Amino acid sequence: MVGGSITAFLLLCALISLFWTPGEVYGISIATRFLPVSAQHWLGTDQFGRDILSLLMAGTQNSITVGVVAVSIGLFAGVGLGLLASARRGWTEELIMRFSDFSFAFPAILSAIMITAILGPGGVNSIIAIGIYNVPVFARLTRGSANAIWTREYVMAARASGKGKFRITIEHILPNILSILIVQATIQFAIAILAEAALSYLGLGTQPPHPSWGRMLNEAQTLMFFQPMQAVYPGGAIALAVFGLNLLGDGLRDVLDPRLSRKR
Amino acid sequence: MSKTVLKVSKLVRHYPLPKESLFADPKFVYALNGVSFEIKEGKSFGIVGESGCGKSTLARNVMALEPTDSGSVQILGEEVVGKTFNELRPLRQHFQMVFQDPYGSLDPHHTVGRIVAEPLAAIGKLPSQEKTERVAEVLSSVGLKPTDVDKYPHEFSGGQRQRIAIARALITKPELIVADEPVSALDVSVQAQVLNLLRDLQDSFGVTYMFISHDLAVVEYLCDEVAVMYLGSIVEKGRTEDLFASPAHPYTGILLDAVPKPAAGKKRKRIQLSGSVTGQTEKRSGCAFRDRCPMVDDRCKRETPTLREVAPDHFAACHYSKKMMEHGLSKPS
Amino acid sequence: MALLDVENLDVSLSTAMGPARAVRGLNISLEKGETLGIVGESGCGKSMTALALMGLLPDNGTTEGTISLQGEDLLLKSEKEMCKIRGNRMAMIFQEPMTSLNPVHTVGRQIMEPLRLHRGLSKSEAFKETIGLMERVGIPNPSERVHNYPHQLSGGQRQRVMIALALSCSPDILIADEPTTALDVTIQDQILELIQNLVDEEGMALILISHDLGVIAENTEKVAVMYGGAVVESGPTDQIFGNLAHPYTQGLFAAMPKLGMGRNGRLTTIPGTVPDLINLPAGCTFTDRCPLATDECGTTAPSISTVEAGHKVTCHHIDQAINGRGEGLYK
Alpha helices in A105-228 (DSSP H): 108-119, 123-150, 153-160, 165-168, 174-201, 213-221
B63 touches chain A (CB under 8 A): yes
Q: How far is B153 from chain A (nearest CA, A)?
A: 9
Chain B residues whose CB is inside 8 A of the C193 CB are 272
Q: Determine, for residues B189 and C251 on separate chains, whether the beta-carbon distance falls below 8 Å.
A: yes
Contact of C11 with C77, CB cutoff 8 Å: no
Q: What is the pLDDT of residues B137-177, one digit of tens each?
A: 999 989 888 888 899 998 888 888 999 999 999 998 899 99
CA–CA dist A126, A199 (Å, integer): 7
Chain C residues lying within 8 Å of B267, measured CB to CB: 196, 218-219
- Check CB contact under 8 Å for C186 and B267: no
Q: Higher pLDDT residue, A75 or A224? A: A75
Residue C169: the pLDDT is: 78
Of B105, B121, B152, the CB nearest to A163: B121
Across B260-286, average pLDDT: 64
- Rounded-to-10 torsion of CA B107, B112, B113, B116: 70
- Among partner residues B50, B192, B268, which is closest to C184 by beta-carbon distance? B50
DSSP-derived secondary structure letter, A164 = -
Q: Give B332's pLDDT tier (boundaries 50, 70, 90).
A: very low
What is the pLDDT, as a whole number, of residue C87? 75
What 3-state DSSP class applies to B272? coil
Q: What is the ipTM of this complex?
A: 0.83
Interface test with B, best of C154, C226, C273, C308 (most B CBs within 10 A): C273
* B3-8 average pLDDT score: 90
φ/ψ (deg, to 5) at C182? -85, 5
Q: Provide the 10 A C-beta neighbour count for residue A105.
A: 10
Contact between residue C224 and residue C49 where contact means Cβ atoms under 8 Å apart: no
Interface membership of B92 toward A (CB under 8 Å):
yes
Bridge partner list, C236: C222
Determine whether the interchain pair A154/B119 forms a contact, defined as Cβ–Cβ distance below 8 Å. no
Is the pLDDT confidence value at B44 over 90? yes
Residue B254 to residue C186, Cβ atoms within 8 A? yes
pLDDT for residue B26: 72
Q: What is the value of pTM for the model shown?
A: 0.83
- Report the residue from B108, B121, B152 with minimal CB separation from A162: B121
Whole-number pLDDT of residue C226: 94
**Which residue type, as a one-letter code, is found at position A130?**
I
Other CB atoms within 10 Å distance of the CB of residue A175 = 16
User: What's the confidence (pLDDT) of residue B34?
Assistant: 86
The mean pLDDT of chain A is 78
Q: Name the residue facing B262 among C42, C185, C214 (closest C-beta).
A: C214
Among the partner-chain residues C184, C214, C251, the one whose CB lies closest to the CB of B260 is C214
Confidence of residue B90 (pLDDT cuts 50, 70, 90): confident
pLDDT tens-digit map of C162-206: 888 888 878 899 999 988 887 888 888 888 888 888 888 888 899
Q: Residue A264 has what pLDDT?
A: 35
Q: What is the mean pLDDT of residues A210-226?
A: 75
Neighbours of B2 (CB within 10 A): 9
Q: How far apart are CA B158 and CA C154, in angstroms?
A: 29
Residues in contact with A105: Cβ distance below 8 Å, sequence separation at least 6, in sequence order: none
Q: For residue A240, is pLDDT > 50?
A: yes
Reported as a pLDDT band with limits 50, 70 and 90, residue C18 is confident
Contacts of B187 in chain C (CB under 8 A): 41-42, 211, 274
**For residue C234, pLDDT beyond 90:** yes
Q: Which residue has the higher pLDDT, C151 or C208?
A: C208
- The answer to whether residue B218 neighbours chain C at the CB level (below 8 Å) is yes
- List CB contacts of B141: < 8 A, sequence separation 6 or more: B167, B170, B201, B204
Q: How many helices (H) and strands (E) does chain C have?
A: 13, 12
Of A121-135, B27-41, B58-72, C244-258, give the lowest mean pLDDT range: A121-135
Residue C254 in this model has a pLDDT that exceeds 80:
yes
Q: What is the mean pLDDT of residues C29-48?
A: 89
Percent of chain A surpassing pLDDT 90:
10
Q: What is the mean pLDDT of chain C?
A: 87
Given a cut of 90, is residue B236 above it in pLDDT? yes
Residues of C in contact with B161 (CB under 8 A): none
Q: Please name the residues in contact with C230: beta carbons below 8 A apart, sequence gap of 6 or more.
A: C23, C24, C25, C26, C45, C285, C314
C-alpha span between B216 and C262 (Å, rounded): 11
Whether chain C has a CB inside 8 Å of the CB on B271: the answer is no
Q: What is the pLDDT of residue A40?
A: 64
Task: Return all residues near C124 (Cβ < 8 A) that are at least 6 apart.
Answer: none
Check residue C265 and give its pLDDT: 75
Please indicate whether, in this complex, the C-beta atoms of A162 and B89 are within 8 angstroms of each other.
yes
Q: Which residue of C has its CA nearest to B264?
A: C238
Which chain C residue has its CA at the smallest distance from B158's CA? C273
Residues 6 or more apart whose CB falls under 8 angstroms from that of C104 comprise C149
- What residue of C is the nearest CA neighbor of B216? C259
Chain A residues contacting B, CB < 8 Å? 152-154, 156-164, 167, 171-172, 175-176, 258-259, 262
CB A138 within 8 A of CB A180: no
pLDDT at B139: 92
Burial of A109 (0-12, 13-18, 19+ CB in 10 A): middle
DSSP string across C187-208: HHHHHHHHHHHHHHHHT-EEEE
Predicted confidence (pLDDT) at residue C76 exceeds the cutoff of 60: yes
Q: Does B185 touch chain C (CB under 8 A)?
A: no
- Cβ atoms of B299 and B319 within 8 Å: the answer is yes
> Could B221 and C257 be called an inter-chain contact, meaning their C-beta atoms sit closer than 8 Å?
yes
Q: Cβ–Cβ of A154/B63 closer than 8 Å?
A: no
The pairing of beta strand C230-236 with beta strand C4-15: unpaired
Judged by a CB distance cut-off of 8 A, whether residue B119 touches chain C is no
Subunit partners of chain C (3 or more CB pairs within 8 A) = B
Contacts of the segment B307-313: beta carbons below 8 A, 24+ positions apart: B307/B234, B307/B235, B307/B237, B310/B248, B311/B238, B311/B242, B311/B246, B311/B248, B313/B238, B313/B239, B313/B242
Question: Does the pLDDT at position B333 exceed 50?
Answer: no
Q: Which residues are CB-contacts of C186 (< 8 A; sequence separation ≥ 6)?
A: B50, B254, B255, B258, B272, B273, B276
Question: Given a cut of 70, is residue A1 above it in pLDDT?
Answer: no
Q: Which amino acid is at B16?
A: P
Judged by DSSP in three states, B195 sits in: helix
Q: DSSP for C246-267, please give it.
A: SHHHHHHHHHS--TT-TTTS--
Closest partner CB to A154 (pick from B92, B107, B121): B107
> What is the arithmetic mean of pLDDT over B121-133?
83
Phi, psi of C198 (to 5 degrees): -65, -40
Q: Chain centroid to CA A120: how far? A: 21
Contact at CB, B105 and A154, closer than 8 angstroms: yes
Render pLDDT for A113-157 as a digit per residue (tens, 0 to 9). 777 778 777 777 778 888 888 888 899 999 999 999 998 889 988
How far is B281 from chain A, CA to nearest CA, in Å?
23
- Which stretch of B86-95, B252-261, C94-103 has the lowest confidence by average pLDDT? C94-103
Structure confidence at residue B279 as a pLDDT band (50, 70, 90): low
Cβ within 8 Å, pair B216-C188:
no
Kindly tell me the number of DSSP H helices and DSSP E strands found in chain B.
11, 12
Higher pLDDT, C207 or A179: C207
Predicted pLDDT of residue A24: 63
How far does the CA of residue B158 sit from the closest CA of chain C (Å)?
10
| Alpha-carbon gap: A260 to the closest alpha carbon of chain B (Å) | 10
